[in-house]
C-alpha cells in the first residue's frame, strides 16, 4: 500500500506518540501525523518533548503551525535531525487561539504568504512542506478560490495537498462544530486532482471505515482519517488488506502484548501510566466486553498499576483479529 493511501490526521490531544505507536501496531502502512506544534514552541521550548517518537512509527509526519517564513524555517531546522518523513503546514485549523496567531485556516486568504513560508523552509533546510487546508472559509466557498490557493502554493514547490473537504467558519462555530456542521464537499477535492494531476491530493473529512476510504481512492491519491481512528482504532486493522492487499490483519492479543512492552519502556522513562493507557480505551469500543474493558482500565489507573496478568488479563475473552 502506498504510504499516502491512508493517513492518521493530526489531532490535538489525540495523536501523541503513544496513540501513534498503537496505530502502527494495528496498521503497518498508514502514515501517522503528529499533533500540531507551533514554530516558537520548537525554537524556544523543549523540542525533544514534542519531537521524540518511536522508530516503528515511520512513516511519520510532523505538523507545524506557523505564519512566519523565518520562524517556520528555524522550526523545521530544529526538527530536521529527528528524521520525520514529512513536515506539514497547518492551514486548516479554525480555533480562536490559532487565528489569534495568524496561522491555521486564515492563511487560506493569503496563499502568497503560504508560498513564501514553503520557499523559506526549503531554502533554509531542503525540506519540501506539504500543506493541509480546507476547501474554503467564510464567504470564500467557490471552487475558483480553492484552485487559486493550490495553484499559488504549488508554484513554491509544494507537491502534497491534504484537503479537509469542509469549509471553515472563522466566527460563530467552535472547532468541534467546524468538523461537523459545514457540509462535506469531496467533489471539490476530486476536481482538484483532475485539474492538478501532477500534484498529490489527499482528501479528509467524514471517512468512517476502510471501505469508505477505498471508495475515495478512485478519485484522489490518498485519504486522511481523524476521529474515526481515535473512536474505533481496531476497525482499521483491515486497512492494509483492503487498501493495499497486505495480509493478514494483526492479532489483537499480540497488539496488546507489544503495546504492554512499549508501555513498560515508557514507564521506565517517567511517562505517567494514565498517558500511556489513554490510547487503549476505545480498543474494544462497540464490541462485547468493551464497556468492561474501559471499566477495568479505569480501575487500573486508580490503583496506579496494571494487574499481574497485564493488559491481556483485562481484555474480553475474545481478543483475536
Q: Which residues are catalytic?
A: 93
Report the first-to-last Cα separation within the chain, whole angstroms. Answer: 20
Give the C-alpha separation, 269 to 286, whole Å.
Answer: 33
| 3-state SS string for 3-39 | CCCEEECCCCCCCCHHHHHHHHHHCCCCEEEEEEEEH
Say if CB 319 and CB 292 are below 8 A apart.
no
Phi-psi region of 245 (alpha: psi -120 to 50; beta: other; left: phi over 0): left
For 57, the 3-state DSSP assignment is helix
Give the C-alpha separation, 77 to 208, whole Å.
Answer: 36
Give the C-alpha separation, 292 to 158, whole Å.
Answer: 47
Give the C-alpha separation, 255 to 321, whole Å.
Answer: 10
Say if CB 4 and CB 202 are below 8 A apart.
yes
C-alpha cell at 278: 489513554
The helix or strand, by DSSP H or E, that contains position 161, with its residue range, turns out to be: strand 160-164
Query: What is the DSSP annotation of 205-221?
Result: SS--SHHHHHHHTTTSS
Give the position of cell 523545521: 76
Amino acid at each position: 500500500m502506498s504510504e499516502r493511501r491512508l493517513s492518521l490526521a493530526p489531532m490535538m490531544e489525540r495523536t501523541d506518540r503513544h496513540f501513534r505507536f498503537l496505530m502502527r501496531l494495528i496498521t503497518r502502512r498508514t502514515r501517522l501525523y503528529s499533533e500540531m506544534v507551533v514554530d516558537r514552541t520548537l525554537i524556544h521550548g523543549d523540542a525533544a518533548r514534542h519531537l521524540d517518537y518511536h522508530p516503528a512509527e515511520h512513516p511519520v509526519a510532523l505538523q507545524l503551525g506557523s505564519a512566519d517564513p523565518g520562524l517556520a524555517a528555524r522550526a523545521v531546522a530544529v526538527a530536521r535531525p529527528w528524521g520525520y518523513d514529512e513536515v506539514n503546514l497547518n492551514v486548516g485549523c479554525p480555533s480562536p487561539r490559532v487565528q489569534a496567531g495568524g496561522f491555521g485556516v486564515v492563511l487560506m486568504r493569503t496563499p502568497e504568504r503560504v508560498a513564501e513560508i514553503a520557499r523559506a523552509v526549503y531554502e533554509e533546510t531542503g525540506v519540501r512542506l506539504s500543506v493541509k487546508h480546507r476547501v474554503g472559509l467564510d464567504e470564500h466557498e467557490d471552487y475558483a478560490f480553492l484552485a487559486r490557493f493550490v495553484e499559488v502554493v504549488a508554484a513554491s514547490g509544494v507537491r502534497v495537498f491534504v484537503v479537509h473537504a469542509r469549509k471553515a467558519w472563522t466566527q460563530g462555530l467552535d472547532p468541534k462544530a467546524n468538523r461537523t456542521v459545514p457540509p462535506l464537499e469531496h467533489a471539490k477535492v476530486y476536481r482538484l486532482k483532475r485539474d492538478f494531476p501532477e500534484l498529490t491530493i489527499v482528501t479528509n473529512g467524514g471517512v468512517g471505515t476502510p471501505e469508505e476510504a477505498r471508495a475515495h481512492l478512485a478519485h484522489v491519491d490518498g485519504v486522511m482519517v481523524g476521529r474515526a481512528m481515535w473512536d474505533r482504532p481496531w476497525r482499521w486493522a483491515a486497512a492494509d488488506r483492503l487498501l493495499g492487499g497486505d495480509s493478514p490483519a494483526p492479532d489483537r492479543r499480540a497488539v496488546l502484548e507489544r503495546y504492554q512492552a512499549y508501555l513498560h519502556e515508557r514507564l521506565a522513562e517517567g511517562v505517567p501510566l494514565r498517558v500511556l493507557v489513554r490510547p487503549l480505551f476505545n480498543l474494544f469500543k462497540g464490541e462485547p466486553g468493551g464497556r468492561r474493558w474501559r471499566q477495568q482500565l479505569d480501575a487500573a489507573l486508580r490503583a496506579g498499576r496494571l494487574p499481574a496478568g497485564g493488559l491481556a488479563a483485562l481484555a474480553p475473552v475474545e481478543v483475536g483479529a
